[in-house]
Homo-oligomer: A and B are copies of this chain.
Amino acid sequence: MSHSGAGNVPIGRAEGPCQMDRPRRKVKIEKAFGEGKIVTAVLDHEDLVRKLAQPDDSEVASLDAWWRANNYLTIGQIYLQGNPLLREPLRNEHIKPRLLGHWGTSPGLSFIYAHVSRLIKTTGQQAIYLAGPGHGGPALVAAGYLEGTYSEVYPNVGLDEAGMLRLFRQFSSPGGIPSHVSVTTPGSIHEGGELGYVLVHAFGAVMDNPDLLSIAVVGDGEAETGPLEGSWKGISFINPEHDGAVLPILHLNGAKIAGPTVLSRKDPEEVRKLLEGHGYEIIEVGGDDVPGMHYRFAAALAEAWGKIRAIQTAARSGQWDGTRPQWPLIVLRTPKGWTGPEKIDGITVTGTWRSHQVPLSGVKGNSDHLTELENWLRSYRPEELFDATGAPVELVRALAPEGDLRMSASPHANGGLLTRDLDLPDFRGYAVEVKRPAQGRAESTRRLGEFMRDIYTRNPDRFRLFCPDETNSNRLGAVFEVSDRAFMETVTGEDVKISRSGRVMEVLSEHNCHGWLEGYNLTGRHGMFATYEAFAMVSASQTIQHGKWLQEASHLPWRAKVPSLNILLTSTAWRNDHNGFSHQGPGLIQNVLTQRGDVARVYLPPDANTLLSVADHCFRSRSYINLIVIDKQPQLQWLDMDQAIEHCTKGAGIWEWAGTDDGSSDPDIVLACAGDVVTMETVAAARILMEKLPQLKVRVVNVVDLMTLPRPKDHPHGMSETMFRELFTDHVDVVFSFHGYPGAIHQLVHGRPDADRFRVRGFIEQGTTTTPFDMTVRNRASRYHLVMDAINNAKRLPSGASELKAWCEAQLARHETYVVEHLEDMPEVRDWSLEDWAER
């Protein structure tokens, strides 16, 4: 057995994608499981499980040493700015001025980490570690440090005394690292600050990743959140043939910040029922005695791993009956702050919420506390754990697996290294034929569905669509020609396109869909989250947190770029009058706008061909949040494919055919638009002006890429000052019809020449019982308002303008009456097109 695991297989700064050394791993596992020799394999497997379940003395010594070393380093990070190895008595000046960090959850996290490391080393299992209680950051940082990975990616934090001091000082410090398991933590794909997503990330990571085991530690605080409770059901969608496995470890340490947790105080029988109800087989282990807990947890982990491998082996050798496996789940009960000071100033700390953050506070200047801290640190016997240089001794290092098998070094957790480009068909092959603008209607997203159907076919192991039960509703159903919905629960004869082999992910939970895709992306695979526009706000905080992750990752050279998170919003506000206000909310745009230009992209393609062009671009991109907004209903088509590509490449452009602006001089008014329905209204308004007030020079500008609007210094897509003037002039009023809330455009054009001249008409919250606004969901006759707006703001008015305004008022009144009587828009609005349009 080689003990050189730590430090000799660099994962950092890789040039281009690297492939995991799959054959090697496979050989390793095959030693145990043997290809085509199922019976032998099961025997081997049982032997292995038995060995795992019973660690020998040297293994326990190594486990315990590693764990002590981790705990020591954890406490060091929280408290010390000097004297890292306690070579001298602890003094005030060794203590940080501000004590930050979370001790309570850390010893549990490192205890589990140690045991999983032994599992990996024994079996060759590929595994990643997701720490739900992300504020146990120091424990995971210490783990990466002990495995050598930390020094590989941050060479200034070496495996010696100076490096250890840097490790301590950087923690929770200005210019250093955050207190959470985060992007900066090697081996992490999960930031545990906003609680609730550890299982969704873990499940996403193992989809189409058959060799991977996600160890997902669920804190009992986190277990109280809605998203976490809603994510246990991941196993109802995981196929043991082509997916890997998640091993959830529910860590009940009893308390959160300031009190007990619900699950830790329920009757354990209820907890068991709850988790069995979710479909798991429960393995319980608990206590605080050492080494007893090492033996018991090793046995529990062995049992869990044995079950997982048995399920997978059976499924992959054709011995699965197709029912949903009862995957194992470990319930681990250890005291919060385990191994820390039991009482402080006479008050019980360990096992209570008081150990949540910094249990021994006010150390500087309190000699009792200083002594107590020193005793606590020395209780781990650092002199046995680190050598004279400060490097971990062989006994500690012996626990770590080698190279990429170290969880802190797993390429799965730096998924850009494993990312392979999608094999994309030519998106132009799905084009809607458009001979002239606005002559025919089509469901734009249907073409995207066909595009994705063929992406599924060409990329059977690295592309998935995630959608809350709306794939068909969103007109993306073509994907069902080649794949079913994934479902591991009972399927009946009445069901359609749903099976255990399906790879289209439908679950009525935006949290699950979004989080699964994040896990899938961060482990190097591609996908799309398609959802109703209004309900994208349900998972908006995930969008924002993922954007922060990507942005932070962009500063770390060792983090390879991952596939972008693509979000398609359909069933938009403008077509949800019948569903009422709950279905009307273009708010996600507002939130993506707060992200930095490094990551945020917002596209509003007005028709099928622009949608295809945008989608192709998004599927090829890396490490962005790509937000695409377009409705699913039949809609007018504007551009043929060549025009669409050109338009999308520029991001915004003048639609000359729609206006009366001959380019010879500035127009009298600019009618701009971004978004499908508002584009129709804008072109219709321009058409009315063309017909009824032809002397007015109207320019129509359409914006596909919203991020062309800000200045280049504010966003990399921001169009140049010159182009901005070419489109919008620098003094002509712009009536800007926007899909979302008007404030979005106000903030985007801030700083552009005379930004005040932008009169934005957008979605405004309204009661369904009133329609006092100029552009409303309930009233699709907004074109008449836009005509009046144009007249009210034009630089120069030809005669006939006031008559046209009066006509518009009359049309609006007619429409209002008509819809109440006929329950639909009046025909000239409903069926409007440019059928009669001919090239001028």
Contacts and interface: CB of A to CB of B under 8 A. Distances in A.
A792 to B, nearest CB: 15
A548 interface: yes
A325 interface: no
B778 A174 contact: yes
A156 interface: no
Interface string A495-521: 110100000001111111000000000
A84 to B, nearest CB: 14
Contact of A259 (B485, B587, B595): B485
Q: How large is the interface on A (under 10, 10 to 19, 20 to 34, 35 or more residues)?
A: 35 or more
A769 B580 contact: no
Interface stretch (A276-284, A308-316, A726-734): A276-284
A259 B498 contact: yes
B578 A172 contact: yes
A259 B495 contact: yes
Interface string A177-200: 111101010000001111110000
A81 B823 contact: yes
A750 B491 CA distance: 56
B262 A551 contact: no
Contacts of A8: none
A535 B172 CA distance: 20
Contacts of A544: 537, 585, 587
A552 B581 contact: yes
Contacts of A824: 97-98, 174
A591 interface: yes
A129 interface: no
A96 interface: yes
Contact of A273 (B176, B273, B485, B746): B273
Given A172-B578, A579-B193, A747-B744, A507 B262 contact: yes
A741 interface: yes
Interface in A127-142: 134-135
Contacts of A292: none
A825 B175 CA distance: 12
Given A540-B537, A556-B769, A587-B594, A226 B222 contact: no
Contacts of A746: 746-747, 750
A765 B595 contact: yes
Given A489-B260, A823-B174, A230 B233 contact: no
A236 to B, nearest CB: 5
A236 B262 contact: yes
Given A277-B271, A495-B260, A582 B506 contact: no
Given A495-B260, A556-B769, A778-B174, A511 B182 contact: no
A221 interface: yes
B259 A506 contact: yes
A751 to B, nearest CB: 6
Nearest to A759: B751
Given A580-B182, A741-B594, A824-B97, A230 B225 contact: yes
A228 B225 contact: no
Contacts of A182: 580-582, 768
A494 B346 CA distance: 13
Contact of A226 (B230, B579, B583, B751): B230
Interface stretch (A32-40, A421-429, A464-472): A464-472
Contacts of A578: 98, 100-101, 172-173, 178-179
Contacts of A135: 579
Given A226-B228, A552-B767, A587 B591 contact: yes
A557 B110 CA distance: 60
A259 to B, nearest CB: 5
A768 B177 contact: yes
A188 to B, nearest CB: 12
A379 interface: no
A265 interface: yes
Interface centre among A191, A277, A348 (most CB of B within 10 A): A277
Interface string A583-595: 1010100110111
A506 B555 CA distance: 37
Contact of A743 (B261, B507, B747): B747
Interface on chain A toward B: helix, strand, loop, or mixed SS?
Answer: loop
Contacts of A754: 756
Contact of A765 (B134, B174, B538, B547): B547
Interface string A261-305: 110011000111111111100000000000000000000000000
A149 interface: no
A128 B156 CA distance: 64
Interface string A342-368: 000000100110000000000000000
A225 B508 contact: yes
B535 A194 contact: yes
Given A174-B778, A258-B472, A594-B765, A193 B273 contact: no
A820 interface: yes
B228 A548 contact: no
A567 interface: no
A695 interface: no
A487 interface: yes
B233 A262 contact: yes
A274 to B, nearest CB: 3
A459 interface: no
Contact of A230 (B229, B587, B751): B229
A272 B277 CA distance: 7
A275 B270 CA distance: 9
A97 B593 CA distance: 39
A574 to B, nearest CB: 13
A819 interface: yes
A258 B469 contact: yes
A276 B265 contact: no
Question: Of A81, A195, A485, A593, which is in contact with the most chain B CB atoms at under 10 Å from its CB?
Answer: A195
15 contacts: A81-B823, A96-B823, A97-B824, A174-B825, A178-B580, A191-B582, A225-B510, A225-B538, A259-B496, A260-B495, A540-B591, A590-B590, A743-B748, A746-B750, A755-B756
Q: Which 4 residue pairs spanning A and B have beta carbons closest together?
A: A178-B580, A193-B582, A274-B277, A226-B230
Interface of A: 81, 96-98, 100-101, 134-135, 169, 172-180, 182, 184, 191-196, 221-222, 224-233, 236, 256-262, 265-266, 270-279, 348, 351-352, 469-473, 485, 487, 489-492, 494-496, 498, 506-512, 534-535, 537-538, 540-541, 544-545, 547-549, 551-552, 554-556, 577-583, 585, 587, 590-591, 593-596, 741-744, 746-748, 750-751, 754-756, 764-771, 778-779, 816, 819-820, 822-825
Given A221-B469, A226-B227, A229-B229, 20 more contacts: A81-B823, A174-B825, A176-B768, A178-B768, A180-B582, A182-B582, A184-B769, A194-B582, A196-B538, A226-B229, A226-B512, A227-B227, A257-B470, A258-B506, A538-B541, A540-B541, A590-B591, A742-B747, A755-B755, A756-B756
